[in-house]
A and B are shown apart, each in its own frame.
Chain A
Amino acid sequence: MKIKGYFLLFLMLLMVFIPSVVYAETRIRCASTTSTQNSGLFDYILPIFEKKTGIKVDVVAVGTGAALEIGKRGDADFVFVHAKELELKAVEEGYFVNRHDVMYNDFVIIGPDNDPAKIKGIKSTLEAFRKIAESGHPFVSRGDKSGTHTKELVIWTKAGIDPKGKTWYLEVGQGMEKTQRIANEKRAYTLTDRGTWLATKDKDKLEMMIVLEGDPILFNQYGVMAVNPAKHEHVKYKESMEFINWLISKEGQQAIASFKDKLGNQLFIPNAK
């Protein structure tokens, strides 16, 4: 009886120690944002790069704020984010080098499909934000220091409104898609990126619509930059630059342009110089 028990225990240990997969190739680590990961862009472009160079890119997807922090601490080899002002500031502070514009999409304001605050028809984002604040209809904020959140805060500041602590202002601290779903449940307005909106509105059965788009302030630029090897000498700078140069090359830019969601929408427009 006892022997059988030990045998079972042994079997379980064996199961645990079976190596899962063998990793041998060069790996570089990219800190990026949930919006790029959840859209499926990485699943599409990374295999193309990996096949060409044999370099495997590991993606840690967090908010832009956290991604920059991870890069600054030297816990990633390069970052791929969307908050241009923060990026340029971090480059100036010496944390990153070789920043390049890669692609863009744009932000849109979405709201309940009956548009209770009557935003549709307004052309100016600042005016729309003021109207939402005045009407007291709920507005869901990412509240997570992500690129989208940063953009939202810039708009509030420019509109001359401090939404913090207001009853209609809900800071949820979640990713974009979850934030949209919360806005849907709360019949609220929110700022989202067009990629996430297109990719998820049908899947998540959102009873919402775009109430404002096309305002230049809603432009969403993605950039890539390498962690400064002078600050963190362990980073794989050479391999990271290989990826960055590929991403901004004709081939990489074409890969981004040819990435489509399930419904055939192009989600990102390449614009590297």
Chain B
Amino acid sequence: MDSILEGFRKAFLLILHLDAELLGIIFLSLKVSGIALLISTVCGLLAGTLVSLKRFHGRSLIITLLNSFMGLPPVVVGLFVYLLLSRSGPLGFMGLLYTPSAMIIAQTILAFPIIASLCHSAIISIDPIIGQAAMTLGATPYQKTITTIKEARYGILSAIIAGLGRVMAEVGAILIVGGNIAGYTRVMTTTIALETDKGNFELALALGIILLSISLIINALLHIIQKKGALQPNR
């Protein structure tokens, strides 16, 4: 119990005296997770829309794959990306291993199936009559798709929030491909893992509390946007 209280006290002190190193770690966390989320949102929304609105061969297989890949173990993804980016691997010439870019790639792979899959659920739950109505009003197929996506925006934002949760909390994959290099690829979660390894439990817990607070703020912001979206059903 003492350790937990001490953790909260330390977290408070750390926030009060934000030093440059900790700020760097927090920004890198936000940068890596943010870019990964952005890429996986764009790709995931495209893929989710495609499998929802188009009928093509192998479509149900893709949906099954997306659903199962939602539970990809981060360590496996980390190892896969490591072998891919390693100097002895197929993409080794790019020299990306142990850089923030490698971490972004790993997190994108982890978040993409979640966002694609949840976008798919959100879009197929929209009544097809909306699309039909748009068509009768003279919409092109493209405009019809946009209308449907707009209707599904609440669910799509939920998908993005789920993806955010995945990348912000992730440690297994980025530890392997980033290497947890101080001042270069060290982010919040890997710092927490390292400090736990070193037995600095209070510091690790304090960092955990800060990470959680940041997640809370971002999610609160997203929730505000989401609520506004829900309040005006007819735009």
Q: Name the B residues within 8 Å of A12 (CB-CB).
A: 34, 218, 221
* 13 contacting pairs across A/B (C-beta < 8 A): A1-B232, A8-B225, A12-B218, A13-B34, A60-B180, A61-B180, A74-B86, A74-B87, A75-B88, A175-B197, A177-B198, A203-B199, A232-B87
> Is the CB–CB distance between A2 and B228 below 8 Å?
yes
Contact A5:B228 (CB < 8 A) given known A73-B87, A75-B86: yes
Interface string of B11-53 (1 = CB under 8 A from A): 0000000000000100110110111001000000000000000
Q: Judge if B92 is at the interface, Cβ distance under 8 Å.
A: yes
Q: Name the B residues within 8 Å of A200 (CB-CB).
A: 198-199
Q: Name the B residues within 8 Å of A175 (CB-CB).
A: 197
Distance in angstroms from A8 CB to nearest chain B CB is: 6
Interface string of B83-113 (1 = CB under 8 A from A): 0001111001001011000000000000000
Interface string of A14-27 (1 = CB under 8 A from B): 01111111010001
B binding-site residues for A, Cβ under 8 Å: 24, 27-28, 30-31, 33-35, 38, 86-89, 92, 95, 97-98, 179-184, 197-199, 218, 221, 224-225, 228-229, 231-232
Interface string of A53-76 (1 = CB under 8 A from B): 000001111000000000001110
Q: Name the A residues within 8 Å of B28 (CB-CB).
A: 20
A175-212: which residues lie under 8 A (CB-CB) from chain B?
Answer: 175, 177-178, 181, 200, 203-204
Distance in angstroms from A161 CB to nearest chain B CB is: 29
Q: Name the A residues within 8 Å of B221 (CB-CB).
A: 8, 12
Which residue on B lies nearest to A73, using beta carbons? B88
Which of A18, A58, A177 lies at the interface centre, i.e. has the most chain B CB atoms within 10 A of its CB? Answer: A58
Which of B98, B198, B225 lies at the interface centre, i.e. has the most chain A CB atoms within 10 A of its CB? Answer: B198
Contact A13:B92 (CB < 8 A) given known A21-B24, A58-B179, A58-B181: no
A binding-site residues for B, Cβ under 8 Å: 1-2, 4-5, 8-9, 12-13, 15-21, 23, 27, 29, 34, 38, 58-61, 73-75, 175, 177-178, 181, 200, 203-204, 232, 234
> Is the CB–CB distance between B228 and A1 below 8 Å?
yes
Distance in angstroms from B227 CB to nearest chain A CB is: 10
> Is the CB–CB distance between B197 and A34 below 8 Å?
yes
Q: Name the A residues within 8 Å of B95 (CB-CB).
A: 234
Q: Name the B residues within 8 Å of A1 (CB-CB).
A: 228, 231-232
> Which residue of the partner chain, among B27, B33, B88, B232, contacts A20 with CB atoms under 8 Å?
B27
> Which residue of the partner chain, among B30, B87, B88, B198, contacts A16 with CB atoms under 8 Å?
B30
> Which residue of the partner chain, among B180, B197, B225, contacts A5 with CB atoms under 8 Å?
B225
> Is the CB–CB distance between A73 and B98 below 8 Å?
no
Distance in angstroms from A18 CB to nearest chain B CB is: 6
Distance in angstroms from B158 CB to nearest chain A CB is: 15
Q: Name the A residues within 8 Å of B180 (CB-CB).
A: 60-61
> Is the CB–CB distance between B184 and A23 below 8 Å?
yes
> Is the CB–CB distance between B88 and A59 below 8 Å?
no
Contact A74:B35 (CB < 8 A) given known A58-B98, A60-B180, A61-B180: no
